[in-house]
Structure 1
Amino acid sequence: MFIGKLLQQAVKINKILFIAGLILINSLSGFAQTDNFRFRKLLAEQPGIPAAFAVANSGNLDALLADKQISVKQVTREWIYIQAKPSWIKEAMDSKRIKSFYLEFSMPKALNDSTLVKHFVKPVHQGLGGLQTPFKGKDVIVAFVDQGLDYNHPDFKDANGNTRVLYYWDHTLPVAANTPQPYGYGQLWTAADIQGGTCGSMEESSAHGTSVAGAGVSNGLANGQETGMAPEAKIIIIETNFNLPNWTMTVADACDFVFKKADELGLPAVVNLSVGTYLGSHDATDPAAVLMDNLLDEKNGRIIVCAAGNSGSWGKYHVHGEVNADTSFVWVQPNPGSQLGPNTVYLDLWTDLSDAGWSYSWAANLSSGSFEERAELIYRAANTGVGSTIKDTLWNGSNRIATLEIYPEIVGPNLHLEFYFTNVDSTAYLYAFKTKGLGNYDAWSGSAAIALNDMLSTGLPSAGVYPNIQYYNMPDTLQTIVSSWNCSPKVVTVGNIRNRWSHIDNNGNTYLPNPPNYTAVGQLTPASSKGPTRTGHIKPDVVACGDISLSAGPFWLLNDPGFNSAISNDGLHVRNGGTSMASPVVAGIAALYLEKCSEGNYQSFLDAVHSTAFTDMFTGTVPNNAYGYGKIHALNLMLQSNFTNTLTADSPFCPGDSAISTASIPGYSIQWMNGDTTWNSALTASGDVYFAAYDQNGCVSYSDTLTVVAYSAPPAPVIYVSGTLLSTDPYPNLQWYENGVAIPGATGTSYTITLPSSSFFTVSRTSTDGCEVFSQPYNPSLGIDELTNQIHVYPNPTRDKLTIDASVPLTDIQVVDVQGRMVKSVADSKHEISISELENGTYYLIIHTDVQYFQVKIVKN
């Protein structure tokens, strides 16, 4: 609220300054604005860096739209919003192409509130905007599989100084007595270990894990700022070990561990994965992804959120090949600095077994000039040598160009081929992966950005120089998302938009990316990885603020002045970015969702994410493989699960009366203030009456609170039978009934019936408060037998059906109300009866056998 007031004041001040500025502009051209000290500083330091400007809408829109040096982003009656270099603004003002422009005077502060505002999380924390109560992640576990945590940071402690971390499983430590089973690696620390100072793990060489956790669950207690999305969530930390074999499966183990601990505690859980691998099948059929999918399907209250990856600006290192009778190819470039060895070449290829009806070869082409092919291997069927290693050599005459190892294998429904050129004797060649036949494939070369290989996408020869170039499979920047779980339709994948333009660092300087990041605030960063999955599934699912975010940092870094340029000016938080920081934003919002909807699952959350994400001038038409379904909107996501309910209750009330609940959705469940879970709750005493209703996903909706007053009432009368004489104790205000109809004049202590009769008789007494209470019904054609262990009726109370377990044959079942009126009869031996059509209230079930009957009090709710 304070920030909003400041913004309103700033707008008012700027309007005043703008009006004053117009006077100067009209008389002094553009000198006043362009000579402003803020603009002079901007022009001197960043003349060629595009920035967001708004210029006065003075009928010059067409001219601006035609100017290729700028981009027009939005138009209002007053303003035209553009992305332009400060130097362009200066020239346009000097030439009078624009009359004025808007430039803020601001003193930014390092606040995660920017993320809270941009994704509409603040009203969720405050219980505003249509929500009935605040949601902050209370009683929800958020787990982070990352590089550890500095749990000593105040943002991860409660107000009493107690740790919020329930467990810390460190995969980097050797086997010991506290190694968790059945996993058999790492060491596990508990909250007691952390609180007692005996925990042997801590994030000590990175700030990644601490800052990622802060974005998701920081409570802001360090300084009242940098609050995460779920500040009251409970925390589990898994410190991953990137050097472990089959690393992705250790991540799946971590998810399994988290969900098991959550089950033990009876809590829902979210797992955030700001880690991943860029190579793989990209279809979620690998073992780790399959396990995670199974965990999600196993039980409600489980969500996994992951970072899409940061390889969007690595270049075109993916290729999709549609194979036909013509020989198509793609060139892979050797890398002198490859992590696999100097000048080596690597290609990771995946295809469905059903699409592997093609053959392949490798060739070496000159890397410039004529691009002449100098060597080629034989063509092999795609599935040749599955399960073995194939070795071959490219020769140019007697000169060896390179040696090649091929690793074919079947992984689930896929054929996987790895190609590794172990010895490359010359860098003068491009290496062509060539195919012919029928089918398709996807292949990744890893990119030189991670010291692997690039595919050639620029500098290609013309058809006149190299005619076969017409069959070239052009690489692209799609399918650059992290593989494995990231590609599962059941996992929430998150892309990265820029959070803020700059911030003040711990040296008092303004941080701006150098070289400056031209991405506008709210725009997808170039590094954010793109989808789709190899099976064509839209990824990412949604985008959130990541780049230039400030979050909790480990104290080893915060206390080192050498890192001041990466530390916020509060000295307690660090700068981080990428999809790693965007993912915990969504994970934290998932915790808010599970606090409201404890039985929700990945699908209900994904549906809510997809349907409520918002779009703007950056996102374009959604869904797409850059922004997914748009930018996550926490408030609308939470509101989507709202439903209405009503509470009715008489006041004053008589004993036996009930409060009635209804809701706007079918199949809801109830929790009354007294713990009752029936649709109607018996009123027993004066006081407040209210309930919480839950839909099929456990989403909660709270009723209003009614204050009721209880009338007093005497105990129910009892009928005594002596032949044809029915009597009761000498109470005042008596009334006898036959089949629920008051008998005229029958207001005494006794009433004589005429036999034979099959009617139901009751007697009532009315208190001075006006409360009428009834006896149990009496039918003279039946005996009165107590319920024995021969008959069992359940469930009772019930909303619909009653089941009758009987060890003797049944002949008839009747339902009568408290006044003795028969409301339903089943004249057969069925042991099940539906009372769904009856009004809520108390009834008597009359169960007949050949020789006797049983009377059971039942409640319909």
Structure 2
Amino acid sequence: MTENCREKIVSEKYVDFIWKSSWSPNGLESFFPEVCFQMINDFYDIYYVSREYLETRSRTDYEYEVFPKLYGLLENESLEASRILQIQNHPVLQLKGAGVILGFLDTGIDYTNPCFRNSVGKSRILEIWDQSIQTGSTPAGIDYGSIYGREIINQALESDIPFSIVPSRDEIGHGTQLAAIAAGSLDKETGWVGAAPLADIAVVKLKPAKGYLKQYFGVKADVIAYQENDIMLGLRYLHELALRERKPLVVCIGLGTNMGGHEGTCPLASYISAIGSRVGRCIVVAGGNEANQGHHFYGMLKDGQEYEDVEFRVADGEYGITMELWGSSPDVLSVSLISPTGEMIPRLSARSGNQRFDFIFEKTVIYIDFQPVEAQSGDQLIVIRMFFPMPGIWRLRVYGTNVLRRIFNIWLPVTGFIAEGTKFLSPNPDITLTGPSNAEIPITVGAYHVQNKSLYISSSRGFTRRGRIKPDLIAAGVDVKTIGPENRSVSMTGTSIAASVTAGSAALILEWGIVRGNWPTMSSLEIKQLLIRGANRSNNELYPNRSWGYGTLNLYSAFEALTRF
């Protein structure tokens, strides 16, 4: 590592690329001078290239997936409902996550919080990698951020000014709250406890997305967003930490995006599946809170139908929108766009390439990029980026040419990236699972209301775009009590909360399986199947389905299922 590269990695003057190793034997060094890179695995590297070398190049010069996607937070009497307490307190099992690492890729953690200390007041946090701080030691083989181990964290806890020793903070609180649900220690006064109160904790505080990338995708500068490549490196770090510690690892991911083909083939989803397939690894991903947000349109061109008009409303004050239209191979689609004032972009085809349109009677600027054959799916992709769009009803006209399957899907950005009122007028709540929850291997979790046993109205629905069964199951995710920064008691709602409950459950299974030697070859797949076998299922539902997956989390029943083998 050089300090020069450390500066480039976090600099706004450098663009981040996710580069597939097979695309070029020499990576991007063959295209650009003075690049820096970070290796993810044998398939992906992250390159950092000066923006001045990109000014003459179009986005269509590169594959779609080289641009890191932006991910947002998925937040909008859990342990009892999931029967986790029965496993913790069972006279024989008494599983509490001992010997297992629970990892979090999120907003950080309030390491001073008592719920992350053991019975003698020492920290249960094994290590923190804060990607946003550049003054400390970096992780092995990674050239940015700062790591803080348990020893220095305990030194900070003994100090009157702990943040002068370990300056990492969770200003937002989301990561702290998820970690408390999954791994919080027992509070003897209130009886509150997390799902795996004896597990070790490892945390990656993700650095905020670079401003240029937010600007490119039309996301306001003050919106909380994280980059795909930073999440991938965070997962690599947690995996390598677990290897060094020789302990099984559960990773909880409470982030999501509407970018990508909703089929689990993007770089992050592929990497998650690769790590999650390994023995001693389990990855749990929140399914998203998009079902009722109006951000998905499902289209089907009928026989003899030349085009379909897709209407969407743009809210007042909207800064930007990035909309992705995914076709179904071998169909070929083309589009035109009509503004609320009637100004029109004429029909464009894949041969049009990358074009910019400046409207005459309004400030709207639109870029339309065509990917005739998207590299991972083989399907056609049309990316429409709108800046300062005129408020009102827009019409996207979708034409079919020599269509066979006739199906197309369009997604607006995830909640939080656009104004609340921007949505399709005829949305479809299905196929709304956010990436990377549509990946094959991880456990994908939706949310429900424990008190009335109803599905959380925003819980994203499956299946994936090509019909893979997701979500896998549903867990408590409405008004769940947890502990936030400064030891405040808070309630949270959203699928990220359901994911943290499930991640804690997975830690107990790994303790039983690997730490105690009952099933030493466990991975995400085996844990997923145990949880599916133990899930509660209503007589009024047909399973698996798009909303509930295979049912609601019941850890005790998952262990009971073992007796039936």
Aligned partners of 2:248, 2:87: CA distance in 1, in Å?
A: 19
State which drifts further: 187-196 or 329-338.
329-338
Q: In the alignment, is residue 482 of structure 1 matched against residue 434 of structure 2? A: yes
Cα contact 1:377–1:394 (8 A) shared by 2: no
1:552 to 480, 483, 490: 483
Q: Which structure is larger by alpha-carbon Rg, 1 or 2?
A: 1
Shift of 1:291: 1.4
Aligned partners of 1:239, 1:441: CA distance in 2, in Å?
A: 37
Shift of 1:378: 2.6
1:234 to 194, 197, 200: 200
Q: In the alignment, is residue 419 of structure 1 matched against residue 362 of structure 2? A: no
CA 1:429–1:613 in structure 2 vs 1: closer, same or farther (change >3 Å)? closer
Indicate the percent of aligned positions where both proteins have the same amino acid: 21
Partner of 1:461: none
Shift of 1:323: 7.0
Partner of 2:148: 189
Shift of 1:121: 1.4
Shift of 1:236: 0.3
Partner of 2:46: none
Partner of 1:536: 467
Aligned partners of 1:254, 1:168: CA distance in 2, in Å?
A: 11
- Residues 362-381 of structure 1: matches in 2 within 5 Å? 362-364=336-338, 375=344, 377-381=346-350
CA 1:257–1:133 in structure 2 vs 1: closer, same or farther (change >3 Å)? same
Q: Which runs of 5+ in 2 are unaligned?
A: 1-76, 157-163, 214-225, 515-520
Shift of 1:405: 1.2
Partner of 2:325: 349
Amino acid at match of 2:456: T
CA 1:394–1:177 in structure 2 vs 1: closer, same or farther (change >3 Å)? closer
Partner of 1:432: 396
Aligned partners of 1:365, 1:211: CA distance in 2, in Å?
A: 43
2:287 to 308, 320, 325: 308
Aligned partners of 2:473, 2:318: CA distance in 1, in Å?
A: 33
1:633 to 537, 554, 557: 554
Amino acid at match of 2:346: L
Cα contact 2:311–2:395 (8 A) shared by 1: yes
CA 1:416–1:172 in structure 2 vs 1: closer, same or farther (change >3 Å)? farther
Amino acid at match of 1:191: R
Cα contact 1:145–1:237 (8 A) shared by 2: yes
Shift of 1:239: 0.9
Shift of 1:490: 0.5
Shift of 1:616: 3.3
TM-score normalised by L of structure 2 = 0.74
Partner of 1:87: none
Aligned partners of 2:397, 2:429: CA distance in 1, in Å?
A: 19
1:248 to 223, 228, 237: 228
Partner of 1:610: 532
Shift of 1:475: 2.7
Aligned partners of 1:429, 1:579: CA distance in 2, in Å?
A: 31
Shift of 1:183: 2.5
Partner of 1:624: 545
What CA RMSD, in Å, does the superposition of the two structures yield over aligned residues? 2.7
Partner of 1:153: 113
Q: In the alignment, is residue 451 of structure 1 matched against residue 430 of structure 2? A: no
Q: In the alignment, is residue 121 of structure 1 matched against residue 84 of structure 2? A: yes
Amino acid at match of 2:282: I
Q: In the alignment, is residue 593 of structure 1 matched against residue 553 of structure 2? A: no
> For residues 257-316 of structure 1, what are the alpha-carbon distances to aligned partners after superposition, in whole Å with 9 as ceiling and x for unaligned?
11211112221110001122233221111111111211223x211010011112223135
Q: Secondary structure at the match of 2:316?
A: coil
Partner of 2:30: none
Aligned partners of 1:632, 1:205: CA distance in 2, in Å?
A: 31
Q: Secondary structure at the match of 2:477?
A: strand
Q: Secondary structure at the match of 2:255?
A: coil
Amino acid at match of 1:478: D
CA 1:305–1:608 in structure 2 vs 1: closer, same or farther (change >3 Å)? same
Shift of 1:350: 2.5
Q: In the alignment, is residue 276 of structure 1 matched against residue 276 of structure 2? A: no
Aligned partners of 1:277, 1:351: CA distance in 2, in Å?
A: 19
Shift of 1:544: 1.0
CA 1:202–1:363 in structure 2 vs 1: closer, same or farther (change >3 Å)? closer
Aligned partners of 1:427, 1:158: CA distance in 2, in Å?
A: 54
Aligned partners of 1:169, 1:214: CA distance in 2, in Å?
A: 18
Cα contact 1:252–1:289 (8 A) shared by 2: no
CA 1:304–1:407 in structure 2 vs 1: closer, same or farther (change >3 Å)? same
Amino acid at match of 1:358: V
CA 1:392–1:321 in structure 2 vs 1: closer, same or farther (change >3 Å)? farther
Shift of 1:349: 1.9
Q: Secondary structure at the match of 1:486?
A: coil
Aligned partners of 2:429, 2:363: CA distance in 1, in Å?
A: 30
Cα contact 2:297–2:424 (8 A) shared by 1: no
Shift of 1:232: 1.0
Q: Secondary structure at the match of 2:232?
A: helix
Amino acid at match of 1:615: R
Aligned partners of 1:242, 1:155: CA distance in 2, in Å?
A: 26
Q: Which has the higher contact order (CA 8 A, sep 6+)?
A: 2
Cα contact 1:359–1:379 (8 A) shared by 2: no
State which drifts further: 586-595 or 245-254.
245-254
> For residues 370-422 of structure 1, what are the alpha-carbon distances to aligned partners after superposition, in whole Å with 9 as ceiling and x for unaligned?
xxx774513413xx35xx52124678xxx679553112343423443211234
Aligned partners of 2:362, 2:119: CA distance in 1, in Å?
A: 70
1:584 to 475, 500, 503: 500
- Residues 383-398 of structure 1: matches in 2 within 5 Å? 384-385=351-352, 389-392=354-357
> For residues 146-193 of structure 1, what are the alpha-carbon distances to aligned partners after superposition, in whole Å with 9 as ceiling and x for unaligned?
11111222221111111100010112212x441113222211110011
